[in-house]
Amino acid sequence: MAHRVYQTTLTSTIIRNLSPQLWYQFRITAVNIYGSQGTTEPSSPFSLLYGVLKFLYYTLYAIN
């Protein structure tokens, strides 16, 4: 189920208050005065918790 999480007029942004227990996907829609050309394909699913654990694993692996 898709939910609009954030809308901005900037070219970059930081999204806050994401839950570490959930998985997320992003789709981008660019809109200008002429309208929209559609939406991108969904990003690969990711979770904050999985990303942190993966980072720690590779960091520890690199140290040893």
- pLDDT at residue number 41: 92
pLDDT of 46 higher than 60: yes
pLDDT of 3 higher than 80: no
d(CA 24, CA 6) in angstroms, rounded, equals: 13
Q: Residue 62's pLDDT band (boundaries 50, 70, 90)?
A: low
Q: What is the pTM of this model?
A: 0.57
pLDDT of 35 higher than 70: yes
Pairing mode of beta strands 29-32, 35-39: antiparallel
